[in-house]
Amino acid sequence: MNSLNVEAGSSIAVFGTGAVGLSAVMAAQVVGCTKIIGIDVHADRLSLALELGATDVVQFSSLRKVEGLTIRSRQPLCLPLHARQSRF
């Protein structure tokens, strides 16, 4: 929870809802985030994310490719939605 660095009432997006990403979803729920968005390509993982506390999910494979955007990491990425760009 300390690594997420989110506060109660904040929003977070979790990119990748495997074991680590689902842990982030559960931690965000414990902290009291009001909007927890799980993003993945696997529908079954997204269903589990909803069961474990995600408020919204996005199946990435159903989105159109955004020009200039490439996600190269296969590790889950958790971003507080209110974070300043300088923090990354």
**What pTM, to 2 d.p., does this model score?**
0.70
Query: Residues 20-55, buried b or exposed e (16+ Cβ, 10 A)?
Result: ebbbbbbbbeebebeebbbbbeeeebbebbeebbbb
Give per-residue pLDDT as tens, 17-51.
Answer: 999 999 999 999 999 999 999 999 888 999 999 99
Instruction: Walk me through the domains of the chain, giving residue ranges and CATH numbers.
Output: 11-87 (3.40.50.720)
Write the single-letter amino acid at 43. A
Q: What are phi and psi of 32, to 5 degrees?
A: 105, 25
